[in-house]
Structure 1
Amino acid sequence: MYVMLDNVLLSWKRLCYIQASRALMIAAMVMGTFGLLATLVGMRCSKAAGENYNLKRKIAGIGGVLFLLQGMCTMICVSWYASNITQEFYNPEYEGLKFEIGNGLYIGWCSATLAICGGSCLTCACRIGRKGENVPYPYQPPTRGTVYSTADVSHPSALTPSHYGRNAYV
C-alpha cells in the first residue's frame, strides 16, 4: 500500500512540475514577444513614438527588462526540468520512464543565456534617467537633390545645379 501511494505521489509531483514548466515557458514566450515589440518601438530609427527620444529610450528599457524576465523564466524552467530528470535517472527506486538530458535542454539554456545577455545590454544601453540628453535631435530639412557637378570650373555645367536626387545613380 505504501509503495502504491508513493508512486501516486511521484506521478502527481511529476505532473505538477511539468505543468509549472509549461506555464513558465508560455510566460517566457509572451514576455519575449512583448519585449520584441517594445524594443522595435523604442528604436531611434522607428517612427512609432515620433521624435520623442526620451519616451523611446524608456520603451526600449522596458523591452530590455522584458527580455531579462524572459531569460530568467526560461532558465528556471529548463534547469528545474533538468534537475528532476537527473534525480529520476539516478534514483534506483523509480520505476517509471527514465529520460536523459537532450538537445532541447541545451538549446533552452543557450536561449536563456542569450536573452539575459541581450536584455542586460539593452537595459544598460538605454541609460534611463540620464540628464544630459533631454533635448531631441535638431531637425535638419532635406536638401531636395541640389547636387553640383564636379567638372572643371571652366566648363559651363560646373556651376549649374543638377536636379537629380541623392540616390539617382547607376
Structure 2
Amino acid sequence: MGSSGVQIVCVFLGMLGLVGAIVCCAIPRWKVTAFTGQTIVIAQSVEEGLWMNCVVQSTGQQQCKKYDSLLMLSADLQAARGMVIISCMLCSLCLLMLFAGADFTTCVESESAKAKISLVAGIGLILGGLLVMIPVSWSAHNTVRDFNDPLVVASRKRELGACIFVGWAAGGLLILAGGLLCCFSKVKSGGSPGAAKYYSNGGASAPNKNYV
C-alpha cells in the first residue's frame, strides 16, 4: 500500500530528527568563539552548550565545566533545556505510537484506529519539531544580535555552533515527517462499529431476511 511506504519514510525521518534533537541536547556546540591571546599566540575555542561549556586549545586539549547554576544561563538556553528535553520525549513516544499503529504492523487490527494513531503521531512529531526549532532559532537570534552589538566585548562575542544547524535540520525533518503522516492518515467514517462487528462474524450470524 502507498500509505505503508509513506509511514516507513516518516519513521525514518522521525528517527533522524530524534537523533538530531538528542545531539543538540548533549553536545556543547550551541555557541562557539575563537580568539587569539595577546601575550602568547594561543588559539582557543570556547564552546557553550545546554549543560556545560568547554575550552579547546590548539594542541587538542579540552577542558569542560558544568554550569554551577541554572540562573547563570541566558534566558534562551534556560528555555532550550526544557523544550529540547520535552521534544525528545514527545518524539520517542510518537515513534512508538507510529510503530504500533502503522499499516506494516499488526499491533492494532482496526483500520480506523490505525489511521487515528498515525494522525496523533503526526501531530506529535510536528509539535516535537517546533519544540526544537523555537529554542534553536531563539539562541541563533541572540547570538547574531550580540555579535553585531558594538557594546559587547570582543572576548564575549559568540558565533553559531554546529548544534544550531543540526537543530534546524532535526526540526525540519520532524515537521516533514509529521506533515506527511497528517496528510496520508485518512480516518474512515461511516457505519456503526456494532454493525461492522456483527457482520464480521460470518454469514451464519447474519440475519436471514428471507423468512416471512
Taking structure 1 as the reference length, the TM-score comes to 0.65
Partner residue, 1:75: 133
Give 1:139-150 correspondences, 5 Å limit: none
Gaps of 5+ in 1: 1-11, 139-170
Which of 18, 27, 31 is 2:90 aligned to?
Answer: 31
Give 1:48-127 correspondences, 5 Å limit: 48-49=107-108, 51-95=109-153, 97-127=156-186
Q: What is the distance in 1 between the residues matched to 2:82 and 2:172?
A: 19
Report % sequence identity: 27
Q: CA deviation at 1:97?
A: 2.2
Q: What is the distance in 1 between the residues matched to 2:133 and 2:107?
A: 32
Note if 1:44 corresponds to 2:103. yes
Larger Rg: 1
Q: How many residues are matched?
A: 125
Distance 1:32 1:107, change over 3 A: same
Q: CA deviation at 1:22?
A: 1.1
Gaps of 5+ in 2: 1-70, 201-212
Report which of the two has the higher share of strand.
Answer: 2
Give SS of 2:159's match.
Answer: coil
Q: CA deviation at 1:132?
A: 6.6
Deviations 1:73-108 (A, max 9, x none): 111111001001111111111236221112211111
Greater RCO structure (CA 8 Å; 6+ sep): 2
Q: What is the distance in 1 between the residues matched to 2:190 and 2:139?
A: 46
Q: What is the distance in 2 between the residues matched to 1:44 and 1:117?
A: 19
